[in-house]
Amino acid sequence: MLILVSCVLLVWNEFGMNRELRIDAHSKLRLWSYDDRESGGMSVASVAKEGDEYVLRCEFSRSYRWPFCGFNLGPGPDPLTEGYDLSGYQTLELDLVASPKANAVRIFLRNYNPDYADPRNFRTLKVNELHFDPNKEVMPFVTELDKFQVAIWWVNEFSIPPALVERELTNVVNFGFGFSQNADEKLHELRFKSITFRGKWISRSSLQSIIIGTWIFSALVYLFVSFISTQRAIDAVKAEKEELEEINSALELERRELETLATRDSLTGVYNRFGLRGHLHSQSALVKQRKSDLSVIFIDLDNYKDINDDHGHAIGDQVLKSFAGLVEANTRTQDVFCRWGGDEFLLMCDNTALAEAVAIAEKLRTVISDYQWPPGVKVTCSFGVAEMDPDESIGSFIRRADVSLYKAKEAGRNKVVADLEEKRDSSIKLG
C-alpha cells in the first residue's frame, strides 16, 4: 500500500499539485506610471486600462543620460508592507506586446522587509529585476524566478550589508514593467496582458522527505511490533535494521551527489564551476562569432591559510562569505561570479574588453583592501585578467588568466596582472 501511495504522490507531484497566481488588468491593484522626470529627465510616460490590457506609452527624451519609463502595480495603499509571497513559485509567464524597436523590457519585483526597507520610502524596497528583449522571445515569455537578480544600484544606494543582498521574494508589494535606457526610438508602446506565477504546493524534495519519513516510521513500527510479539524475531529485526541502514546510506550518498551537482557554492552562495559552465559556453560562442567581447578575472585571497591558522576556520569562512558579498555588490548585473575552488574565485565579464576588465579588477582590489574586516584580519587579493580571442579554446583562455594570477602573486600579491601574450591552448575542466 505504501508503494502505491508513494507512486501516486510522486506522479501527482509531477503532473499536479500546481498552484498559480495571475496578475492582469482585472486584478484589484493600484496602477501608476513613472519616468525619468523624477531624475531630472524629460521623458513622459502614461498608462491606462484599455479593455483587457494595460497600455503604457512612452515618449523618450535624450535630455537624460539614461532615459527610462514604465508603470507599477501595487497591492494596496501606502505604506506598503504586505504583499505576495512568491518564494514557493518557480516560474513566471509574461504576456505582453512591445513596440517592434523596443529591444529591452525590464521587470521589477519589489520586496518589503523591515530589515532594510522603510514603508514610507518606495525606493527602499528591494529591487529584484530581470531584463529581456521582447522581440527575441516567444510570447508569452516564460522564465524561472531564479533568473531575477537584486539591482546593484539599489545595494549601493542604500549601503545594503552582504547578508541582505540576496534575491528575496517573500513579500512582493510592487510589480514594475517598463523600457530601459537603450530604447532607440522616441515613441514606444507596451501592451501588458498578464503575468502569471506558477509553482508546486509541495516541492518534490519536500514530498520525497515526507515519503521517506513515512517509510522509516512504518518500518520502525513494524520492528517494534515484531519485537513485542516474539523474541524469536530478534535476528530478523536486526537484519531488517541493517538493510534500512544500508538504504539510508544509499540515500545519503545520493543526496551528496545531488548537492555536488548544484550550481551554487554552499558556503558563499555564488556560482560554483558547474553553475558557471553554461554562462561561459554561451558567452564564448558569441566571442567566436565575433559578436561580443569576453574577459575573465581570476581572484585569489592572499595568505588565506594564515587567516584560518591565526583566527580559526569560523572567521575564515566568514571572510569568504563577506568577500563574496563585497564582490557581488561592486560588480555589474551582467557579470557572473564563481567560486573556482578553495580561496580562488573567477569573475566572468561578458561584453567586456581587456582594459575595462583590468579597471574592474583594480576597483575590486581597492574595495577589498579598504574594507573593514574582523578585528586583526587584513585581506588583500591578487588578480589575473585575460580577454578571450575568437580563435582560441575556452581552456586556453582560462589558463592564460590563471597564469596571470600566479604572476600577480609572484610579484608580491595585492596586484592586478593582465595577460598580453599569445594564446596557448590548454585544458581546464569547469566541473
Tell me the pLDDT tens digit for each residue of 59-76.
888 777 778 899 999 876
Mean pLDDT of 281-302: 94
Q: Which pLDDT score is estimated for 365?
A: 97
**Would you say residue 139 has pLDDT above 50?**
yes
Of the listed ranges 214-218, 284-288, 315-319, 360-364, the least confidently predicted one is: 214-218
The chain-wide mean pLDDT, for the chain, equals: 88
Mean pLDDT of 161-189: 86
Residue 4 pLDDT class (50, 70, 90 cuts): confident
Q: How many CA atoms lie within 13 A of 247 on its CB side?
A: 11
Distance of alpha carbon 119 from alpha carbon 121, whole angstroms: 6
Cβ-based neighbours of 342, under 8 Å, separated by 6 or more: 304
**Would you say residue 422 has pLDDT above 60?**
no
Q: Which pLDDT score is estimated for 66?
A: 79
pTM of the entire predicted model: 0.47
Q: Which has the closest alpha carbon to 5: 210, 281, 192?
A: 210
Q: Which three cell numbers stand for residue 228?
A: 513485542
The residue whose grid cell reads 515526507 is: 210
**Would you say residue 424 has pLDDT above 60?**
no
Q: Which pLDDT score is estimated for 33?
A: 93
**Would you say residue 378 has pLDDT above 60?**
yes
Q: Which pLDDT score is estimated for 215?
A: 86
Q: Which pLDDT score is estimated for 257?
A: 58
Distance of alpha carbon 169 from alpha carbon 113, whole angstroms: 10
Q: Which pLDDT score is estimated for 309?
A: 93
Q: Which pLDDT score is estimated for 198?
A: 94
State what percent of residues in the chain have pLDDT above 90. Answer: 65
**Would you say residue 270 has pLDDT above 80?**
yes
**Would you say residue 412 has pLDDT above 80?**
yes
Distance of alpha carbon 8 from alpha carbon 102, whole angstroms: 47
Residue 117 pLDDT class (50, 70, 90 cuts): very high
**Would you say residue 369 has pLDDT above 80?**
yes
**Would you say residue 429 has pLDDT above 50?**
no
Tell me: the pLDDT tens digits for 314-353? 999 999 999 999 999 999 999 999 999 999 999 999 999 9
Mean pLDDT of 124-143: 92
